[in-house]
Amino acid sequence: MQDIDQRDRELLGALQGDIPLSSTPYALIGQSIDMSEKEVIKRTERLKREGIIKQICAQFELRALGYRSCLVAAQVREERIEHAANVINAHPGVTQNYRRNHDLNLWFTIAVAPSSKLGLEKTIDVLGSEAECDRVRPLPTLKQFKSADGEAHGDTDYTPLTPGEIESVRLLQRDLPLQPRPFDALARNTSVDADEVLNTAKTMLKRGQLRRFTASIAARKGGFSASAMGVWVVPADRADELGLKMSQHRAVSHCTLRPVYDDWPYNLYTIVHGRSVDECESIINDLAIDSGIDEKRALYPTKEYKKARISFFSREADEWEEAHAASRAAAAS
């Protein structure tokens, strides 16, 4: 791997900012850092080849697109857990799926489009049934105190998209080609043209549906090799206070409030990161001391079954739903 020089660092800084929604974004980036368009493209190609840049694309706000999502905890018999994970992973809207050290041993996140005929709850029911889960506990976010980017995101009003806007979303989440007019390349042989794609992106940015158009950079581990999901039983009237307090800890990347069940009393969730399991345990114990909450558990991932970016308005998700809606109708008849 070639060493990153000062010019690379300047370019990475520009690419991690807001990439211009223009027909010639690389030329504009070059102007901002006194680099030719050709050199911007050449250096970006190398940084991608070396795995430093993962992708250049739009980052959308899931709820603002009308999507509904949920964390789900399921209990599966040990001898069936691999099969169950494969069944669940087959849904294109499942972005993460982990085995964890608890009777509720399979934890996954799923999102469904606003056009879904099954809807989120029925989709979870279908997956639970097909995966032969003994228990399924949907755990939607009731309140988010902190997310992966370190900030809390409020709800944004949902504006339904036109067919042309949906096609533009499908294109904007692809990796931006490394050529002088990349949006022309994105739109080639599709039902929309480059100007429509760019105008849609600008409109969605104003609506809050598109958060940023930027480069995703490979995370530097920095020695952090362990993570834990700390789950807490907090009094309902102190949930906001304690959620805000725990979210301020620098080792906490996510902090959310979720519903409880008779067999699952935990309502506050914190994801913490450390260099080891012992360090994660220490962080959770510190949070317990600081908050005065001692009814808690630390859940650790023992196997990763899936980790992927969501593909918005994917035709694969439509096909999955059509197939499973048909099978449910046949079974019901």
Q: DSSP readout, 149-175?
A: TSS--------PPPHHHHHHHHHHTSP
Q: Return d(Cα 14, Cα 34) in angstroms, integer.
A: 11
CA dihedral (92, 96, 101, 105) in degrees, to 10, reads -20
Looking at residue 256, the DSSP 8-state letter turns out to be: E
Amino acid identity for residue 234 in this structure: V
Among 27-36, 80-89, 169-178, 223-232, the least confident range: 223-232
Place of tokens 């791997």: 1
Amino acid identity for residue 203 in this structure: T
Please give the C-alpha separations between residue 58 and each of 17, 129, 257, 309, 315, in angstroms, as whole numbers: 12, 35, 28, 12, 19
Amino acid identity for residue 236 in this structure: A
pLDDT for res 149 = 54
Q: Give the strand order in the sheet containing 296-299.
A: 143-146, 252-257, 268-274, 226-232, 296-299
pLDDT for res 158 = 86
Q: What is the pLDDT of residues 309-326, one digit of tens each?
A: 999 999 999 999 999 876
Candidates 109, 79, 92; CA nearest to 322 is 92
Task: State if pTM tops 0.75.
Answer: yes
Candidates 169, 128, 97; CA nearest to 315 is 169
Q: What band does 150 get if pLDDT is binned at 50, 70 and 90?
A: very low
pLDDT for res 327 = 64
Overall average pLDDT of the 54-60 stretch? 97
Sorted by where each starts, the structural domains of the chain and their CATH numbers stand as 6-61+170-217 (1.10.10.2890)
Q: What is the pLDDT of residues 96-114, one digit of tens each?
A: 999 999 999 999 999 999 9
3-state secondary structure at position 5? coil
- CB-based contacts of 310, cutoff 8 Å, min separation 6: 62, 67, 93, 95, 111
Cβ–Cβ < 8 Å for 168, 162: no
